[in-house]
Amino acid sequence: EQGRRVVFDAEHFFDGRQSDPDYALGCLEAAIQAGAEAVALCDTRGGMLPDHIQRVVGEVVARFGPVAGIHCHDDSGCAVANTLAAVHAGATHVQGCVNGYGERTGNANLCTLIPDLQLKMGMAVVADEQLRRLTLIARDVAEIANVAPPHSAPFIGTSAFTHKGGQHVDAMAKAIYTYQHIDPELVGNHRQTVVSELSGRATVLTKAADFGVDLGDDQALVRRVAEEVKQLEHRGYSFEGAEASFALLVHRARGHQPPFALIDYITLVEQREGRAMTCEATVKLQIDGAAVHTAAEGNGPINALDAALRKALTTAFPEIGATQLFDYKVRVLDGQDGTAAGVRVLIESGDHHRRWSTVGCSTNLIEASWIALADAFEFAIVECRRQGEWPRADPEVPSAAVAHDTPRQGGPHPTR
């Protein structure tokens, strides 16, 4: 009469049915008689398994018709499986949350359920165009929530269609279905190949092609790139999460000249009694044959170095102004060496259109950070040239296929 649709959530239904089945079913009957169009059966504690869910939902459907819904929590790691089992048993109403967010261990993940229902079970859940926006939506929601989705999340995770190892990559080149259960573009994701010391010729060729660099039949160049990757990884580098650094490595192997070169930099951290700590960096670069000298302050030496480098580059490369640092991670390579240990720095950067990651490695945290920062800005310049965003075109600059799940905003700036 009020023009409203009513869905009755039967909290604790599965546990309640085990304790008092007559009362639990009576609640459903009362809700249906009162006008509820669906009764969502809730596994509120998340303790049920798929076979039990399927059997009980089947009983409800047999008694009340196609009015059963399902609401599962993931405390036993079965929220998605339980939901699919309920649909198999006749549930017509599904509840969940984007990225599986929810109390305790979360709710059933809609970003897994939607493609499972549509692509695996043949149910028309959303339009094809909507499905192709799934990965983007998951990452937008994650950014709003300030919680990065797991890299291994099915369908929408950055690792969902990522391949590593020479034999796997070679097999993918011959028959793409050998290690992919669907076309990633159906859910708005993309296939990517990671490069590591395990990489063979096929991996290097495939990854270079991802960045628009055709190595063709230049076997010597392929071997040189593969060998350099191995040597760098023995020093602590990892290109699995730093595809922009790998793209620059390949491009430099082909004779690319960087758009800027470091002359020197200085970082200063000063702490005096009764005063706040101050951090300052000065950077001197060579750009188009001229020396550019800038200085900047920051809330730590890395932040100051970032600000000074950005300041030095924006005059010659104004599009750098749109580049942001989204995440900054430091990993100690050998904790037994204490503060003398080598570190690996991974930086995630981006602008209005894309994201990319770079890596630096050194026994000095500031030097490792500089390497990753310089790569991040060089890749941004290379991308803008390739896309013609300013008239400094270089026709052999690689393409940006670097796209990652959205990280947390504003990574920490260490003062080590």
Query: Mean pLDDT score of the chain, rounded to an integer?
Result: 84
Instruction: HSE, CB side, 13 Å, CA atoms: give it for residue 36.
Output: 22
pLDDT tens, position by position, 24-50: 999 999 999 999 999 999 999 999 999
pLDDT at 211 over 80: no
pLDDT tens, position by position, 251-277: 888 888 899 999 999 999 988 888 888
Domain with CATH 3.20.20.70 in the chain: 7-125
Q: Which residue has the higher pLDDT, 343 or 194?
A: 343
pLDDT tens, position by position, 345-366: 999 998 877 889 999 999 999 9
Q: Which fold has domain 7-125?
A: TIM Barrel (3.20.20)
Cβ contact 43:53 at 8 Å: yes
In a 10 Å sphere around its CB, with 0-12 CB exposed, 13-18 middle and 19+ buried, how is residue 175 labelled?
Answer: exposed
Query: How far does Cα 190 stand from its chain's mean position?
Result: 12
> Which residue in this structure is represented by tokens 């960045």?
211
144-160 average pLDDT score: 85
pLDDT tens, position by position, 72-98: 999 999 999 999 999 999 999 999 999
Residue 161 DSSP symbol: T
> Using CA atoms, how far apart are residues 162 and 180, in angstroms rounded to an integer?
9
Q: What is the reported pTM?
A: 0.60
Cα Rg of the chain, angstroms: 27
Domain with CATH 3.30.160 in the chain: 260-316
pLDDT band of residue 377 (cuts 50, 70, 90) is very high
Supply the pLDDT for residue 191: 80
> Using CA atoms, how far apart are residues 352 and 403, in angstroms rounded to an integer?
12
pLDDT tens, position by position, 166-189: 566 667 667 777 888 999 999 999
Q: Which CATH architecture has domain 260-316?
A: 2-Layer Sandwich (3.30)
